[in-house]
Amino acid sequence: MAPETEVKNPALDINDEYKYGFSDPEKPVFKAEKGINHDVVEQISQMKSEPEWMREFRHDALDVFESKPMPNWGNTGLLNDIDFDNIYYYLKPVEKQGSTWDEVPEDIKNTFDRLGIPEAERKFLAGVSAQYESEVVYHSMQEELEKQGVIFLDMDSGLREYEDIVKEYWATIIPPADNKFAALNSAVWSGGSFVYIPKGVEVDIPLQAYFRINAENMGQFERTLIIADEGSRVHYIEGCTAPTYAADSLHSAVVEIVALPGSHMRYTTIQNWSKNVYNLVTKRAVAHENATVEWVDGNLGSKLTMKFPCVYLVGEKAHGEILSIALSGEGQHQDAGAKIYHAAPNTTSRITSKSISKGGGRASYRGMVKVYPDAIGSKVHVECDALLMDKESRSDTYPTMEIAEEQVQVEHEARVSKVGDEQLFYLMSRGLTEEEALVMVVNGFIEPFVKELPMEYAVELNRLIQLEMEGSVG
Amino acid sequence: MSDNGHPLFEVQNLKVAIDGNEILRGVDLTINEGEIHAIMGRNGSGKSTMAYVVMGHPHYEVLDGSVKYKGHDVLGLDTDERARLGMFLAFQYPMAIPGVTVAKFLHSALKTREESGEVAVREFRTNLNKAMSLLGVDSSFASRYVNDGFSGGEKKRLEILQMFMLEPDFCILDETDSGLDIDALKTVAEGVNAMRSEQRSMLLITHYQRVLNYVKPDVVHVMMDGKIVRTGDIELAENLEENGYEWIEEELFQNTEATGVGTAQA
């Protein structure tokens, strides 16, 4: 049942007339020239007054980016349309980060107001980070958590204030050479979150980061590192939107998670970029003994998304879970999926992937499950469901399984279904209009995902599906 | 047979085809307010087609005839409009709606009947619990997904539960008795009997007389080859139980021989 007060959550709110496609006038403090080269990388590093090792890391990463070819798989047609010379790689919107909304410039504050962030913060979040272009312009966390030793900072501040911890884990999970876009991020990264949860600390209400692109031809390259120390627990949520422009923007993030023994980490993403954004993201976690990592990944917006959240299960009895939905409409390709590597005995994993394609949209599931020798007693469960709303839309599944150990249990199920006349007739015979019936079938389809979201998000997501389905009946 | 009531539901000369095959070949039927009619017949005689067409299934093509309910020309209405006017079909094969709970489904269906689009949650819950206990279903039923992994008996109970909650004025029960053991059959029959009222009419579609031991119809029809070929009272059903359908076929055949007309409307 719907709660009495519905909290507006913009990350979930798209429809055919994308509501968050508005933009502010640009008033940057600094904007690097278009295009990417060592000068731009040097400029970014200088402006941030970084330690020498980070400066070198960036320059090395740029060399890797330049030496790596574009991917020869996936939607190469769309990928090869990216014009790397026509993108701004660094834009500093404000001189100083605010810790209250009053310290944030009027235009930007108004934008986040329209996106409902301050309201959500008051109602149900433990901490908020708001990134605008290349920098986090607002950041705050409940005092209570600070007292418990929880660190939740933008990545740049994290590097300044906790250089030792950052250096210990930095790029250990996703090295620049992992892929071309991870290399690009490593060269020009800015913003993102640094989170550390001390031993045994359980953070009950979510921390949220919100990412907003405002400028045209913008590239946003946030970098996030989360460390959940032994026996700790945390839920981190991210959301994102951007203005609708004729020109394409590029969002290429890197997210690394370290889940130390016995910790429980959940990372929820609601991606709602405008349909001119390339969203090419690398997300990977390492789960140690008895740790659990859950990626809850919702992809609704963007032009092309390529994102395959990954968990390395390196300690005995570690558990990995990847639950995702992708909604692909006209002109969109959601190339999403999951990767799990079982590298220790008695590790377990579950992948649940759901996609909905409509109006000629395309959704792909690309999965990799690998069980290494000696990962005895491991269990794998993979479930892929695709729902096609019309004949023009498309769904593909590319599952890969490499099982090098015999004493394991592997289950894989894949289904493609169409919303059936018989289902609609049944619901309509109870009084629902065709559109209401369609919404009900679709909401039921994504229920396993929605029920994992905080209530406020779940309500919004259901409302969003309703908006998306308007006009789908014909 | 009570001829002097108000007709609630009237079918005239209904001819229906699917994929070019004529399944209903001129059905006439009038049901007055408060009456329970049974249509009996073998598999393939057109009984379920009748149920689907009356409710507006998109795959059937109406060739001729009319269906009236409370004075509305039903065939000109969408399925959901028919439902909101108080028509209801208990499906022979109810569909699963994964991810949608019974409670949410019923609540949504009830809301379509309100001008405000709202039904108070607390009141709804109370009514639902009452209906579930009357039908002897466990309260966990409400939070299960609609027909998803239900046994045959559970599916039929859910159909009756919906009928209870939606309180339609005209109910068609399509083989609701089939596939039920005797206990389940009794529960379902009790539910149907509890729904009996002076305003509400029902049409029971069945090919066994068994259910009619528990739900007493006012009128019994026999359908054969897309037409209603006999109409009588409960004795007709009993006769069918004892002697099967062959004697009707024989009579029809003789009639055809005698008159040269392929109809034998009682």
Alpha carbon of A426: minimum distance to chain B alpha carbons (Å): 7
A367 C-beta neighbours (distance < 10 Å), count: 22
Distance (Å, whole) CA B237 – CA A452:
54
Q: CB–CB of A162/A198 below 8 Å?
A: no
pLDDT (0 to 100) of residue B68: 97
Decide if A431 and B113 are in contact by the 8 Å CB cutoff.
yes
A434 interfacial to chain B (CB closer than 8 Å): yes
Decide if B97 and A448 are in contact by the 8 Å CB cutoff.
no
pLDDT greater than 60 at residue B55: yes
pLDDT tens column, A284-325 = 999 999 999 999 999 999 999 999 999 999 999 999 999 999
- Domain stops at, among A275, A307, A339: A307
Q: Which residues contact A58 (CB under 8 A, 6 or more apart)?
A: A41, A44, A45, A186, A187, A188, A189
- Domain stops at, among A266, A285, A307: A307
* Structural domain contains residue A343: no
pLDDT tens column, B125-173 = 999 999 999 888 888 999 999 999 999 989 999 999 999 999 999 999 9
What number of C-beta contacts closer than 8 Å exist between A and B?
80
Tell me how many domains chain A contains.
2
Comparing CB atoms, the residue among A421, A431, A446 nearest residue B112 is A431
Closest of A452, A442, A417, A210 to residue A321, by C-alpha: A452
Read off the DSSP letter of residue A7.
Answer: P
Residues of chain A contacting B59 with CB distance shorter than 8 Å: 421
Q: Which residues contact B175 (CB under 8 A, 6 or more apart)?
A: B47, B48, B92, B205, B206, B207
* Structural domain contains residue A331: no
The three-point CA angle B229-B235-B240 to 5° equals 60
Are A153 and A282 part of one and the same domain? yes
Comparing CB atoms, the residue among B78, B99, B166 nearest residue A430 is B166
Residue-range definition of the domain harbouring residue A146: 10-307
Segment B184-188 mean pLDDT: 86
Residues of chain A contacting B162 with CB distance shorter than 8 Å: 430
Decide if A440 and B109 are in contact by the 8 Å CB cutoff.
no
For residue A19 the two structure tokens come to 């509501």
Distance (Å, whole) CA B46 – CA B55:
14
pLDDT tens column, B213-222 = 899 999 999 9
Comparing CB atoms, the residue among B89, B97, B107 nearest residue A444 is B97
pLDDT tens column, B12-27 = 999 999 999 999 999 9
Comparing CB atoms, the residue among B83, B91, B121 nearest residue A428 is B83
* Structural domain contains residue A279: yes
* Structural domain contains residue A392: no
Q: Predicted confidence band at B257 (pLDDT cuts at 50, 70, 90)?
A: low
Comparing CB atoms, the residue among A421, A431, A441 nearest residue B80 is A431
B146 C-beta neighbours (distance < 10 Å), count: 26
pLDDT (0 to 100) of residue A382: 96
Residue of B nearest to A4 (CA): B121
pLDDT (0 to 100) of residue A92: 95
Residues of chain A contacting B83 with CB distance shorter than 8 Å: 428-431
Decide if A430 and B57 are in contact by the 8 Å CB cutoff.
no
Alpha carbon of B162: minimum distance to chain A alpha carbons (Å): 9
Q: Predicted confidence band at B60 (pLDDT cuts at 50, 70, 90)?
A: very high
Are A155 and A303 part of one and the same domain? yes
Decide if A429 and B108 are in contact by the 8 Å CB cutoff.
no
Residue of A nearest to B95 (CA): A423
Decide if A425 and B79 are in contact by the 8 Å CB cutoff.
yes
A458 interfacial to chain B (CB closer than 8 Å): no
Residues belonging to chain B with any Cβ–Cβ distance to chain A shorter than 8 Å? 55-59, 78-80, 82-84, 88-89, 91, 94-95, 97-100, 105, 107-109, 112-113, 121, 145, 162, 166
pLDDT greater than 80 at residue B260: no
For residue A400 the two structure tokens come to 């890969």
Residues of chain A contacting B98 with CB distance shorter than 8 Å: 444-445, 447
Comparing CB atoms, the residue among B80, B113, B121 nearest residue A433 is B80
pLDDT (0 to 100) of residue A457: 80
What is chain B's Cα-based Rg? 19
* Structural domain contains residue A327: no
Decide if A447 and B98 are in contact by the 8 Å CB cutoff.
yes
Closest of A23, A17, A43 to residue A32, by C-alpha: A43
pLDDT (0 to 100) of residue A2: 36
Which of A430, A440, A450 should be substituted to probe chain B, the one whose Cβ sees the most B Cβ atoms within 10 Å? A430
> B226 phi and psi, to 5 degrees?
80, 15
Comparing CB atoms, the residue among A426, A440, A445 nearest residue B108 is A440
Q: CB–CB of A314/A326 below 8 Å?
A: no
A246 interfacial to chain B (CB closer than 8 Å): no
Q: CB–CB of B185/B209 below 8 Å?
A: no
Which of A354, A425, A436 should be substituted to probe chain B, the one whose Cβ sees the most B Cβ atoms within 10 Å? A425
Comparing CB atoms, the residue among A431, A432, A445 nearest residue B99 is A445
pLDDT along chain A (474 residues), means of 10: 39 56 90 96 97 98 98 96 96 94 93 89 91 95 94 97 97 98 98 98 94 95 98 95 92 98 96 94 98 96 97 98 94 96 98 94 96 96 92 92 94 87 95 93 91 83 74 58
Max CA separation in chain A (angstroms): 69
Three-state secondary structure call for residue B72: strand
> A141 phi and psi, to 5 degrees?
-145, 150
Comparing CB atoms, the residue among A426, A434, A441 nearest residue B91 is A426
* Structural domain contains residue A409: no
Alpha carbon of B101: minimum distance to chain A alpha carbons (Å): 8
Distance (Å, whole) CA A164 – CA A155:
13
User: For the purposes of burial, counting CB atoms within 10 Å of the CB of B197, is it exposed (0-12), middle (13-18) or buried (19 or more)?
Assistant: exposed
Decide if B95 and A436 are in contact by the 8 Å CB cutoff.
no
pLDDT tens column, A65-88 = 999 999 999 999 999 999 999 999
pLDDT (0 to 100) of residue A269: 94
Decide if B109 and A431 are in contact by the 8 Å CB cutoff.
yes
Distance (Å, whole) CA A158 – CA A176:
20
* Structural domain contains residue A361: no
Decide if B58 and A445 are in contact by the 8 Å CB cutoff.
no
Structural domains of chain B, ranges and CATH numbers in brackets: 7-94+167-259 (3.40.50.300)
The three-point CA angle B56-B60-B63 to 5° equals 100
Q: Give the bridge partners for B173, in sequence order.
A: B90, B204
* Structural domain contains residue A312: no
Distance (Å, whole) CA A116 – CA A9:
6
Residue of B nearest to A444 (CA): B99
- Domain stops at, among A245, A276, A307: A307
Q: Which residues contact A126 (CB under 8 A, 6 or more apart)?
A: A141, A142, A145, A203, A204, A205, A206, A207
Residue of A nearest to B121 (CA): A1
Residue of B nearest to A450 (CA): B99
Alpha carbon of B149: minimum distance to chain A alpha carbons (Å): 15
Query: How many residues does this entry show for chain B?
Result: 266
